[in-house]
């Protein structure tokens, strides 16, 4: 089965763009809600609500920063050439499935072909890095053989 590495890159790009957009929208809504909140006569209730809104804003800022960091990483992988060993940016076909070593985006399907977008820092990513075609590794009591690297 032939896999198109650039199509998986584009799928990861769309995934991160959607995450950034979602985080920006949620952050804007949380900030707007915080600005619209006026102090009521129930002081403790107001303070609790205000604190919850601040936590919501902080959480959304963190999600946005994480997504932007993933976008920056992904942009460094736009045209990574194929190599003999697995590295960040490799599309790796194994006996147990296909992995795009890039960002953690879960399972993606491009042209009806599934692959897992994983971070090089993930447990399975760490096991794959530096391996060559024909080499094996074990993850969750399953043996994986590397069939091809793009």
**pLDDT the model gives residue 104:** 95
Pairing, β 113-119 against β 97-102: parallel
For residue 140, the enclosing domain spans 91-149
Cα gap 96→136, rounded to integer Å: 11
- What gap in Å lies between CA 32 and CA 68, rounded to an integer? 22
pLDDT interval class at 54 (50, 70, 90)? confident
Is residue 67 located within the same domain as residue 103?
Answer: no
Residue 84 covered by a domain:
no
For residues 73-84, give the mean pLDDT.
Answer: 91
Tell me: the pLDDT tens digits for 61-76? 999 999 999 999 999 9
Give the total number of structural domains in the chain.
2
- Provide the mean pLDDT of the chain: 90
For residues 67 and 101, membership in a common domain is answered with no
Q: Using the predicted structure, report yes or no on whether residue 4 has a pLDDT greater than 80.
A: yes
* Residues 98, 60 within the same domain: no
pLDDT greater than 70 at residue 31: yes
The predicted model scores a pTM of 0.84
Q: State the pLDDT at residue 96.
A: 95
Residues 57 and 117 in one domain: no
Retrieve residue 66's tokens.
């994480």
Instruction: Tell whether 70 and 95 lie within a shared domain.
Output: no
Q: Residues near 43 by Cβ (< 8 Å), separated by ≥ 6?
A: none
């Amino acid at each position: 089965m032939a896999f198109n590495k650039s199509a998986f890159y584009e799928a990861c790009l769309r995934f991160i763009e959607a995450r950034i957009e979602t985080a920006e929208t949620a952050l804007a809504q949380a900030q707007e809600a915080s600005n619209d909140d006026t102090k009521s006569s129930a002081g403790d209730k107001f303070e609790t609500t205000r604190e919850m809104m601040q936590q919501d804003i902080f959480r959304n800022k963190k999600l946005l920063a994480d997504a932007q960091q993933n976008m920056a990483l992904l942009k460094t992988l736009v045209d990574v050439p194929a190599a003999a060993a697995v590295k960040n940016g490799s599309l790796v076909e194994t006996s147990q499935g296909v992995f795009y070593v890039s960002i953690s985006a879960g399972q993606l399907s491009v042209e009806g072909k599934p692959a897992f977008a994983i971070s090089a820092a993930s447990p399975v990513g760490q096991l794959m890095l530096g391996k060559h075609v024909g080499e094996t590794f074990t993850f969750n009591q399953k043996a994986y053989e590397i069939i091809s690297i793009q």
